Amino acid sequence: MSSIRESALTVIVTLGVCVALGFSTVSRAEPESLEVPKVAASRTLLAGQHMALAYSVENIAGVQEALPGHPIAILEAGWATTAEEFIDQASEINQARYYRLLDEWALDVDMTVFFFSAFDEPWKGNPASPLGAEKHWGIFFVDRTPKYIMKPRAPDGY
């Protein structure tokens, strides 16, 4: 399977006590289903979401190896719901799947994660590009209406 990963990683060390990581991760992969390690065995998700989480976990492991014994928190983790840069991966359904996958992993390994962001931010990025990913990371639209992940649904449904 071929994939192209675009990501930005920010590592901040605060007083040598806490390592904080910020990820903005998108994986472009074939839309096949894969089983994700460290998450319920029955769960299958899109390969892109698996690759995004795997990339994040790989970076976290590298920081843990470099700074053993220090607590780590992921300060920004997210999935864009609209993006002309990666149209096939950006959607409300994919955002919900990614957040749930990341949340399950974080609970499994006792990792603190802050999702990015609460609201879409249309002033960010290129003003000439209203469909640019930088503007569409919120779990609520800019008018404060909820996106799919925040809407009530059946317990097992995305």
Average pLDDT over every residue of 40-68: 73
Query: 13-45 pLDDT, tens per residue?
Result: 332 333 444 444 443 333 333 333 333 332 344
* Contacts with 115 (C-beta within 8 Å, 6 or more apart), sequence order: 77, 78, 99, 102, 139
* Statement: residue 66 has pLDDT above 90: yes
Span between the terminal Cα atoms of the chain, in Å = 26
Which pLDDT belongs to residue 59? 87
Q: Which of 25-29, 31-35, 46-50, 134-138 has the lowest mean pLDDT?
A: 31-35
d(CA 81, CA 135): 9
Q: Are 56 and 110 in contact (CB under 8 A)?
A: no
pTM here is 0.68
Q: What share of the chain is helix, strand, coil (3-state, %, to 5)?
A: 30, 25, 45
d(CA 53, CA 49): 6
